[in-house]
Amino acid sequence: MDLPATKFVIKDLLPQGLAIIGGAPKVGKSWLMLDWCVRIAKGEKIWNFSTVQGTTLYVSLEDTASRLQERLLSVTDEAPNVFFTTFSFKISEGLEEQIKSFVADHPGTALIVIDTFQMIRNTGSEVSYANDYNEVEILKKLAEELKITILLVHHLRKQGDSDPFNMLSGTNGLAGGVDTMFVLDKSKRCSTNATLYCSGRDIEDREIELCFDKDNCVWNFVSDSSDNPEMLLPDEMQKLIEMMKEIFFFSGSNSDFIERYNQYTGREIKANSLKRMMTKSGAAYRIKVSLGYDETYKQITKSMTFKPKPGMTERQIKAELNRQAVLFEEKTKQEYAEHLRRVEMGLDDDASLTAKRVRFEPLAEEWIELMETTHEMKPATIIRIKTMRERTYKAIGNIYVDVLNYRQIQKFITSLAKKGVNKHTGGGLSQKTQKHYVTFISDVLSYARTCGLITDNPCTKVKTVKTCEKEKEIYSLEELKTLLNLINEKGFLN
């Protein structure tokens, strides 16, 4: 019998059925759920996972309508097909009818988030495995009947556990009754980094490292445990792997193989020695943290080795590996930030600075030279860019590109619209000219991103400002001389 394949709301992460996400109070669960509701309604990707577009309902039972609106505006300017309510009945007291009524009115419903699960539970029920299981079983059957995903937001117990799913408040009846489980956990309360632990009947166990963007109020993707951490092996073993990847297949005796291996590596090693290495090589993992790039844009990293304790299960190894990675990253970056501060105060020698930070002006000049050399940009565009350098460099040229943000760029663009900026008309620069400045800055920052100096381009949200009068293209005598010299350099008049 051919059965239909499992349907997903978030591909490979959130299938249809009943799911639960746990986290400590104020850890950021609600921001994550709000972002998921908005992105699924828009059909946008969630990190590296595609979504199936559909109507979403966010049942926010611990928020007021005004706070919910403020949060929504922090995440998006528009939210089509996203619905909200701050009221709900309890399980077996009208909740099921309430959900059925909403789905009947909105046939394209894909996801209903209930924040929090505790608010819809029957308060008089005894805490037991049977009661926990029975409550979630009602919602699981409802989700299956309506062919939607119901996602419950829940709290964690204060006691820690090597298995994060054991920290869900309540008995194991909750974990046993749901299809999919998530736990959002921070190693430190004040940290912006967190791990999203994922497990379920229809998904692969994984840990997704996230970082909270306070400016945009969203959780950004950092890494996924499904991309296996680098396993450290002796150099001889690394060479063996490289050789087999290259030759793919070998047939022969041990002596023939070791002869081939020694020829490949340029070493002299006996067959029994290589066999002992293959037997004794234990798993260890290298954790790397990037601290920036040197003057040749070569990545500067610090690393540590993590070796699991004997007897640890695969899940325990993954959990501890991710915990160690987060702690090492925080420690390393804090030490590096302190070093930068001491360099600026003259307390540390600049020669000890391992990673070179780049300011906007020298990077822009490097990019302009590249455009001229590769002829990727029209000469007329290069000329226009060179006329914009003075204002741009005066405003942001001395700022390091890794700390240059939207607010600084927007402030500069807004200042271009003020009266008096255009010395010929006495007014501000037109929106068209402002857009040229935005494009110039954005192109330089895109180059910085390609070089690995930054991860995001803050220009994407910068807007031009309307001016009261139309700008006229009037040049002074000195500007005309400069313009003609640039034209002559490019051979336009030949």
Q: Give the number of C-alpha atoms closer than 13 A to the C-alpha of residue 266, restricted to the C-beta side.
A: 0
Among 50-64, 166-180, 253-267, 470-484, the range scoring the smallest mean pLDDT is 470-484
Do 259 and 210 share a structural domain?
A: no
The predicted-structure confidence for 87-133, as pLDDT tens digits, reads as follows: 999 998 899 999 999 999 999 999 999 998 989 988 766 667 788 88
Q: Rounded distance, CA 460 to CA 406, Å?
A: 8
- Is the pLDDT reported for residue 469 higher than 60? no
- One domain, residues 306 and 346: yes
Q: What is the mean pLDDT of residues 341-363?
A: 65
Q: 370 and 464: one domain? A: yes
Mean of the per-residue pLDDT values for the chain? 81
Residue-wise pLDDT tens digits, 422-451: 877 778 888 889 999 999 999 999 888 877
Could you tell me if residue 423 is inside a domain?
A: yes
pLDDT at 42 over 50: yes
Q: Which span out of 61-70, 104-113, 314-323, 348-357 was modeled with the highest average pLDDT?
A: 104-113
Pick from 20, 19, 314, 319: which is nearest to 163 by CA?
A: 319
The 10s digit of each residue's pLDDT in 116-175 is: 898 998 876 666 778 888 889 999 999 999 999 999 999 888 766 667 888 888 888 888
Verify that 372 and 444 share a domain, yes or no.
yes
pTM for this predicted structure: 0.49
Query: For the chain, what is the radius of gyration of the CA atoms?
Result: 29
213 shares its domain with 326: no
Report how far apart the first and last C-alpha atoms of the chain are (Å, whole number): 78
Average of per-residue pLDDT across 20-48: 91
Q: How far is CA 141 from CA 17, 260, 440, in A?
A: 8, 61, 56
pLDDT (mean) for 28-34: 91
Asked whether the CA dihedral 260, 264, 268, 270 is positive or negative, the reply is: negative
For residues 56 and 202, state if they share a domain: yes
The whole-number average pLDDT for the span 186-195 is 78
**How many CB atoms neighbour CB 221 within 10 A?**
15
Answer yes or no: is pLDDT of 398 > 80: yes
Give every CB contact of residue 359 below 8 A, 6+ residues apart in sequence. Answer: 397, 398, 399, 400, 401
Please indicate, yes or no, if residue 334 is contained in any of the structural domains.
yes
The percent of residues above 90 in pLDDT, for the chain, comes to: 27
46 pLDDT higher than 90: yes
| 366's tokens | 């490097």
292-344 per-position pLDDT tens digit:
655 444 556 677 777 777 777 767 777 787 788 788 877 887 777 777 676 66
At 421 the pLDDT is 85
| Residue 411 phi, psi (nearest 5) | -60, -40
* CA 400/CA 408 separation, integer angstroms: 12
pLDDT of residue 235: 67
Residue with tokens 């081939």: 260
Q: Of 216-230, 334-348, 443-457, give the range with the top mean pLDDT.
A: 443-457
For 490, the 3-state DSSP assignment is coil
pLDDT band for position 291 (cuts 50, 70, 90): low
Residues 402 and 474 both lie in one domain = yes
Spatial separation of the C-alpha atoms in residues 469 and 430, rounded to whole Å: 8
34, exposed or middle or buried, with CB in 10 Å at 0-12, 13-18, 19+? buried
Domain count, the chain: 4
Same domain for 160 and 23, yes or no, is yes
Q: What is the pLDDT of residue 40?
A: 94
CATH of the domain at 47: 3.40.50.300
For residue 190, give the H/E element and its range: none
In a domain, 2, yes or no: no
Who's near 301: CB < 8 A, 6+ residues apart?
Answer: 288, 289, 290, 291
pLDDT of residue 448: 86
pLDDT score of 445 = 92
Q: What is the pLDDT of residue 474?
A: 53
Same-domain status, 379 and 350 = no
Contacts (Cβ under 8 Å, ≥6 apart) of 190: none
Name the nearest CA neighbour of 187 among 353, 321, 8: 321
Q: What DSSP letter does each residue of 30-79 carry, written as one string?
A: HHHHHHHHHHHHHT--BTTB-B---EEEEEESSS-HHHHHHHHHHH-S--
Residue 1 resides in a domain: no
User: 297 and 277: one domain?
Assistant: no
Which pLDDT does position 110 carry in this prediction? 95
In whole angstroms, give the CA distance from residue 464 to residue 414: 7
Q: Do 463 and 345 fall into the same domain?
A: no
**Using an 8 Å Cβ cutoff, are 411 and 405 in contact?**
no
Residue 190: count of CB within 10 angstroms of its CB = 5
- Whether 494 is covered by a domain: the verdict is no
Q: Is residue 55 part of a domain?
A: yes
Does residue 132 fall inside a structural domain?
Answer: yes
Domain ranges, residue 167: 8-224
pLDDT of residue 146: 94
Region of 304 (left: φ > 0; alpha: ψ -120 to 50; beta: rest) is beta
**Given a cut of 90, is residue 453 above it in pLDDT?**
no
Higher pLDDT, 254 or 231: 254
Domain boundary among 281, 298, 317: 281
Tell whether 54 and 142 lie within a shared domain. yes
C-alpha to C-alpha distance for 277 and 426, rounded to whole angstroms: 78
Q: Is 199 helix (H, G, I), strand (E, B) or coil?
A: strand
- By C-alpha distance, which of 197, 458, 453 is closest to 318? 197
Both structure tokens of 100: 């059925």
pLDDT band at 351 (very low <50, low <70, confident <90, very high): very low
Which of residues 205 and 229 earns the better pLDDT score? 205
245 found inside a domain: yes
